[in-house]
Structure 1
């Protein structure tokens, strides 16, 4: 037996890892789990972490998208695990192998034995958020959009739920940078990010900085009528907000484009393109507008 055959028999993996499982990162389900039989197609992959929702820092969808291996630290309220996700192909279908190693006693997290469950959870969450959060605004980043939106779309289709993507842009933002400097521009972006995060439903909707002064809000299972009302409220809050920078008070407006999931927008690319077209339409109307498909 050569080395490859030995590894392929998985004996070495049994010694290296405490749990090995095959997951579908798009549907977020476990396909097979070594050492523990599971009811395939029904067990959410995030259930192992005692969560009722998808991991923010999902390395499996990242490995799936980028076709590289990724790793992270996770905590299931009892033990700390080192997790590796790597791509495999079965009958031309892409899946992810997740290998989990219990490192609770390995001091991966400093003085873990002295920390409470709450403190460990906060520290693990902090480490994982670094990967998917925009450093300036604290909103999610483009990587998160590419990793979470496909799942949201598939889940909405399977569960017959609505989904809307809102793309927004700060009007004439370049003038702020040119007049007051980029530090002031960064301050405005932080304030806008806070307004956006404070005006969506926690753990249901999410907001990401899409680049420059552009943001995306994803509304899950909310009617277009209510999405439009929520976006109007956000637009009004931005317009009325006084951005106090040194001895100056800066006022800005914003433009919005909304696209709702339908037969023509069943992919990430199509729904983002549709929202972008609606945003462009709002700008053509003179900015400080909301357009929706």
Structure 2
């Protein structure tokens, strides 16, 4: 049993150890019943191994049939031991008669501790597996919701956030605004310096948005290509325009040194408000997009509202 506990914790030879321990404990219990008698309580040890047998067969071997086979073998062993002891007097039963109660108490207490240990180990392993599953689910959620280049929300996740914001509006009439932003002359950046430089610019823009999300009540996402979308919560159009202009100030200061050349960009914002008079999100998005086009076709580097 000590070898079993040691190897159990190493987990390297868990299947082999379980098999050896099961066989050893089964033989040991049969011999004890044969020589000392049923009243010693040695029959309880194989029964205590059933939980760990199923744990190993299901979680390690991935086949519950092995657990069923060994559980049946344990029950058969139990029944044979009982029949064997009921039809005969054990070889040393009389000599150990005075120790029947102490031996029985020791075996039942030991078996109880063993069973408690196995149950605790099982529960600990289940918690460990649960934590792994939660981490994997979180990773999958990030893959589904986060743009891998900029490390901000993607379009799909932003659509979910907008739905939640509309629900808040329907409950509390909390105004919000949508800004669609586009990097000015981004194609020229890619054509002149290459797509690696373009990726650095996109990451730089995302970093600026992330920093501003700490100051203002906004959510941001990469809407597509060089376009970003800002969800400005609990804000009317005038306050939203102020927030966008503050962000634009930071963008105007942005520059990166790429292959010994200084690269600077600007951005144009098209802004629209979701309100009682304008409560169709498709129309709000279309209006923001139209305002963006107005800015792109005139001065650029500005915030445009109706």
TM-score, normalization: structure 2?
A: 0.55
1:173 aligns with 2:192: no
Matched, 1:151 2:164: yes
Q: C-alpha deviations, 1:231-282, integer Å up to 9, x for none?
A: 1111111111112223121011110011011245323312111110111111
Matches within 5 A, 1:205-216: 205-216=218-229
Change (3 A) 1:202 1:106: farther
Q: Which deviations, in whole Å up to 9, do the C-alpha atoms of 1:84-114 show, x marking residues without a partner?
A: xxxxxxxxxxxxxxxxxxx95472544x9xx
Aligned match of 2:271: 258
Closer, same or farther: CA 276–264 of 1 in aligned 2, 3 Å: farther
Equivalent residue for 1:133, pick from 138, 143, 146: 146
Select between 134-143 and 236-245 the one with higher mean Cα deviation.
Answer: 236-245
**Residue deviations 1:24-62, cap 9 Å, x none?**
xxxxxxxxxxxxxxxxxxxxxxxxxxxxxxxxxxxxxxx
Per the TM alignment, residue 286 of structure 1 is displaced from its structure 2 partner at its CA by 1.9
- 1:185 and 2:198 aligned: yes
- In the alignment, structure 1 residue 231 sits paired with structure 2 residue 253: no
In structure 2, relative to structure 1, the CA distance for the partners of 1:264 and 1:280 (3 Å cut) is farther
How many residue pairs align between the two structures? 182
- Correspondent of 1:269 among 274, 278, 282: 282
- C-alpha deviation, 1:154, in angstroms: 2.4
Deviations 1:126-152 (A, max 9, x none): 442221010000111111122221221
Q: Does the 8 A contact of 2:251 with 2:266 survive in 1?
A: yes
* Structure 1 residue 225: Cα displacement: 2.3
Question: How far apart in 2 are the matches of 1:183 and 1:254?
Answer: 19
Match of 1:279 in 2: 292
| Cα distance in 2 between the residues matched to 1:200 and 1:146 | 18
- Retained in 2: the 8 A contact 1:167–1:276? yes
Shift of 1:202: 7.2
Which is higher, the Rg of structure 1 or of structure 2? 2
**Are residues 290 and 203 of structure 1, via their aligned partners in 2, closer, same or farther at CA, if it must alter by over 3 Å?**
closer
Do 2:218 and 2:231's aligned partners in 1 also have CA atoms closer than 8 Å?
yes
Show structure 1 runs of 5+ residues with no match: 1-102, 113-119
CA distances 1:48-85 after superposition (whole Å, capped 9, x unpaired) = xxxxxxxxxxxxxxxxxxxxxxxxxxxxxxxxxxxxxx
- Work out the CA distance in 2 between the residues paired with 1:288 and 1:227: 16
1:245 to 247, 258, 269: 258
- Whether the 8 Å contact between 2:177 and 2:272 is mirrored in structure 1 is yes
Match of residue 107 from structure 1: 129
Paired residues of 2:274 and 2:281 also in contact (CA < 8 A): no
Cα distance in 1 for residues equivalent to 2:299 and 2:283: 25
Residue aligning to 1:22? none
